[in-house]
Amino acid sequence: MPTARDPSPGGATVTERAPTGAALTGGMRWVFLHVYSTPAARFSTAVMSQVRVRFAPSPTGFFHIGSARTALFNWLYARHTGGVFILRIEDTDKERNSDAYLGLIYDSLNWLGLNWGEGPEVGKNGGGDFGPYRQSERSEIYREHVQRLLDGGRAYEKDGATWFKLLGDRYEVFDEHRKKTVTKVKLPPVVIDDRIRGRVERLEDEDFVIVRSDGNPVFHLVNVVDDIAMNVTHIIRGEDHLSNTSKHVLLYEGFGVQPPAFAHIPLILKQNGPGKMSKRDQGALIEEYQRRGYLSEALVNFLCLLGWNPGDDREKMPIAEIIRLFDLPGVNQSNARFDDKKLAHMNMAYLLELPADRFVAIAREYFQLHSAAHSAAMAAGDSYFRDVMLLSQPKVKGVEELPAYTAYFFNEDFSIDAKVRDKVMAKGDPKARLRELAEMLKAGDLSSDSAVEEAMKALAAKNGLGFGDYQSVARLALSGTNVGPSITGMIRVMGRERVLMRIERFLAM
RNA sequence: GUCCCCAUCGUCUAGCCCGGUCCAGGACACCACCCUUUCACGGUGAGAACCGGGGUUCGAAUCCCCGUGGGGACGCCA
């Protein structure tokens, strides 16, 4: 609905949209609002001035892009409003939970810089007055709340499970889709005043289970109970939860509590094929980007732009600026397709302007994960490694290219690309050029790129040739290929001894 | 099948709320050229979109309706 960006204040939604056909539902809506707004006064705490948002993942699988963005939008909103970002672990599914996945949630959030003010205590994160923050430790709280519904006649037991009871006239009907007779309840549609979608109506007409027959409470119940208990003011979550929201609103009503503000953000679609992105899709895992040496600030910047924008043409922005500008009405309503090319570009842009020390540190970290490249690189010594990395920084699109891109700096047995060799050796007398270059380098000043460059240019001029006549064959002899950093930089970094050795070996071939 | 959400270049999007300034702007990708010491970066340029149909209006990408398409939800999963 196009009224989305106009969050009408204070539930005044009832009156807008006039004549045609809305009269009936409008009237019923009033009844509904009346029912739950009266007892709300008794339960709801004083006016909450501070925004409290939560990210509530389940440790049942890898942490993926979609979850990361939901966490990010919550975090941004908390930072923007000076509110609290809560991490709550929804680990009620005993079958599928695992500590490894839980650890991955903590690691990924930390890596992305999404620190939580309240939640499980991990490192500098967590703590808070509304714990415990793992649902597996909150059973007593759920039991009390279910008892309250039972006592108030809003829940009953059947088939060993506990069901939430809808209030209204009941009737039986055969459900074609599920092939069974079900009991339905006559009710006006639930109204959701969504900060991103606008007004959404959805009919909820069947009682639903809130505690399984094995005694475990279900998602809908624990989610609502915790959001009440933790004083959550804004629920920012994926649009896939929009259809659950009617159940949740009914539960709030059952507890006599005014629901928080809802904001359903668009989904991220997989880049190839139909459907939303899931943990199994190509490029879906946060862990993977971390492992591939992506810069978290680049990934965060990219993720912000999937479903949100600052309202102008800016894309690459410091996080502080994003925090300043981020707001719920600026979030898009349509799903966005993930594009790894754009992410790679963003990553390169960040890489290019990374301070030298940090670039080298990240490169070293990356090499450590790749033992073969690592041992050779480390054997060459810290300062040589640093020089090689800084020489390559402006040339690569990502840290993951580094080991292959720089391999010949660290290994003497690099291979010579046959095609390149044939091409380079085809015209002129490259070997003669190489001999002239070696002669010059024996005594030349190799202390800076410009010194090397001047010497090479002088040599070329003396022989009536161009810089390129020396560059291509020198590159071939030193690296075996025709791509790489500037040749002058290579000579400077490799040093006289190594350069002369490689040239001689090449001439002997 | 039922219900809900959405709809601008291949992709992410600006513009839409408050109709004219839009023969629709930016970015990624692609192509060409320039720069150049290879490869990149960078610069310049090209191609590329208002889903369709009705309506309202002097005028619609912008408002309304209907189609169509895409997405989501329909569990004693979360």
Is the model's pLDDT at A6 over the cut of 80?
no
Q: Are strands A155-158 and A198-202 parallel, antiparallel or unpaired?
A: unpaired
Closest CA to A362 of A290, A304, A270, A308: A290
Residue nearest to nucleotide B1 (CA to C1'): A177
Q: CA of A420: how far to CAs of A210, A417, A479, A505, in Å?
A: 69, 5, 11, 17
Q: Are strands A268-269 and A336-337 parallel, antiparallel or unpaired?
A: parallel
pLDDT tens-digit readout, A454-482? 999 999 999 988 999 999 999 999 999 99
| Tokens representing residue A266 in the block | 């668009």
Q: What is the pLDDT of residue A208?
A: 96
pLDDT tens-digit readout, A367-385? 998 877 788 888 889 999 9
pLDDT band at A83 (very low <50, low <70, confident <90, very high): very high
**In contact, A451 and A464? CB cutoff 8 Å:** no
- Where on strand B do bases come within 7 A of a protein Cβ? 1-8, 10-17, 25-29, 37-42, 62-64, 70-78
Q: How far is the CA of A154 from the C1' of B73 (A)?
A: 24
| Tokens representing residue A395 in the block | 């040339």
Average pLDDT over residues A88-115: 92
Q: What is the pLDDT of residue A392?
A: 96
ipTM higher than 0.90?
Answer: yes
Gap between the Cα atoms of A36 and A252, Å rounded: 8
Is the model's pLDDT at A17 over the cut of 60?
no
Q: What is the pLDDT of residue A173?
A: 86
pLDDT band at A438 (very low <50, low <70, confident <90, very high): very high
Q: What is the pLDDT of residue A400?
A: 94
Q: What is the pLDDT of residue A448?
A: 92
Gap between the Cα atoms of A378 and A390, Å rounded: 15
Exposed (0-12), middle (13-18) or buried (19+): which is A459, by Cβ within 10 Å?
Answer: buried
Q: How far is the CA of A217 from the C1' of B5 (A)?
A: 28
Nucleotide nearest to A203 (CA to C1'): B3
More confident: A318 or A284: A318
pLDDT band at A48 (very low <50, low <70, confident <90, very high): low
Please give the share of chain A, as a percent, with pLDDT higher than 70.
91
Q: CA of A321: how far to CAs of A69, A80, A115, in Å?
A: 17, 10, 18
More confident: A51 or A13: A51
Gap between the Cα atoms of A459 and A437, Å rounded: 8
- Measure the CA angle with vertex A307, ends A241 and A324; round to 5°: 110
Gap between the Cα atoms of A427 and A429, Å rounded: 7
User: Within a 10 A sphere around the Cβ of A205, how many other Cβ atoms?
Assistant: 17
Gap between the Cα atoms of A433 and A343, Å rounded: 43
Is the model's pLDDT at A35 over the cut of 70?
no
Residue nearest to nucleotide B75 (CA to C1'): A209
User: Of A45-49, A103-107, A443-447, which gets the smallest average pLDDT?
Assistant: A45-49
Nucleotide nearest to A450 (CA to C1'): B37
Nucleotide nearest to A452 (CA to C1'): B37
**In contact, A125 and A115? CB cutoff 8 Å:** yes
Nucleotide nearest to A475 (CA to C1'): B38
**Considering the entire predicted model, what is its pTM?**
0.87
Q: How far is the CA of A332 from the C1' of B7 (A)?
A: 12
Q: What is the pLDDT of residue A29?
A: 28
DSSP state of A209: E
Q: How far is the CA of A312 from the C1' of B25 (A)?
A: 10
Gap between the Cα atoms of A32 and A190, Å rounded: 8
Q: Which position has the token pair 């009224």? A: A3
Q: How far is the CA of A473 from the C1' of B38 (A)?
A: 10
pLDDT band at A37 (very low <50, low <70, confident <90, very high): very low
Q: What is the pLDDT of residue A479?
A: 96
Catalytic residues of A: 279
Gap between the Cα atoms of A272 and A287, Å rounded: 20
Whole-number mean pLDDT of chain A? Answer: 87
More confident: A13 or A506: A506
| Tokens representing residue A457 in the block | 């240019």
Is the model's pLDDT at A386 over the cut of 90?
yes
**In 3-state terms, what secondary structure has residue A389?**
helix
Is the model's pLDDT at A34 over the cut of 50?
no
pLDDT tens-digit readout, A153-206? 999 999 999 999 999 999 988 877 777 788 999 999 999 999 999 999 999 999
